[in-house]
């Protein structure tokens, strides 16, 4: 599955990287609910209606990451029914979670805002600061990127 290509098509079609806008354009219902810290969000496909629920107690930045992740499930795994983030982590939890994390990273991080030369010289920590994004998301964007692109960029960890 070429997640990079899927996300590029969505960005081009809807002219945005905003997961809320894309979800609404796709007819996915978004709800914000008050949950404890252990539930960050989830996707559910119920009777052909797609819903994403995000914890309203999260800060806006984390809500956007959770929304992008759940949008990944809605697009990539809608036949699964329900996908849930209980404890917020971008670390591997299985293939579907990795794919949803990759989707979120591809959607939220615009690699065109940095030159290949800058990218080659920056660490994950520096890229995290540059993109104002957690290091784990940076890793999904660049470490799991097409191997040829990593070699081309001479990406340093």
48-106 per-position pLDDT tens digit = 899 999 999 999 999 999 999 999 999 998 766 555 554 445 545 678 888 999 999 99
- 22: phi then psi, degrees, rounded to nearest 5: -65, -45
pLDDT of residue 50: 92
Confidence of residue 122 (pLDDT cuts 50, 70, 90): confident
Q: Is the dihedral of CA 110, 115, 119, 122 positive or negative?
A: negative
> Is the pLDDT at 154 greater than 90, yes or no?
no
Q: Calculate what percentage of the chain has a pLDDT beyond 70.
A: 81
Report the CATH fold assignment for 3-108. Arc Repressor Mutant, subunit A (1.10.10)
Confidence of residue 145 (pLDDT cuts 50, 70, 90): very low
Task: Using alpha carbons, list the distances in angstroms from residue 101 to 3, 46, 98, 117, 147.
Answer: 10, 23, 5, 26, 18
Where are the chain's structural domains? 3-108, 111-157
pLDDT of residue 36: 82
pLDDT of residue 117: 84
Measured CA to CA, the distance from residue 89 to residue 131 in angstroms comes to 18
Residue with the bigger pLDDT between 107 and 81: it is 107
């Amino acid at each position: 599955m070429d997640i990079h290509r899927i996300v590029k098509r969505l960005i081009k079609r809807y002219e945005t990287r905003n997961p809320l806008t894309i979800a609404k354009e796709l007819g996915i219902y978004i709800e914000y609910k008050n949950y404890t810290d252990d539930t960050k969000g989830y996707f559910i496909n119920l009777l052909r209606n797609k819903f994403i629920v995000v914890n309203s107690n999260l800060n806006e930045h984390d809500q956007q990451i959770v929304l992008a992740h759940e949008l990944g499930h809605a697009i990539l795994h809608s036949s699964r029914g329900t996908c849930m983030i209980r404890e917020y982590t971008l670390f591997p939890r299985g293939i579907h979670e990795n794919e949803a994390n990759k989707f979120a990273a591809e959607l939220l991080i615009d690699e065109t805002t940095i030159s290949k030369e800058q990218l080659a010289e920056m660490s994950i920590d520096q890229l995290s600061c540059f993109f104002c994004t957690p290091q784990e998301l940076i890793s999904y964007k660049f470490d799991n990127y097409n191997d040829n692109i990593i070699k081309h960029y001479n990406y340093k960890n």
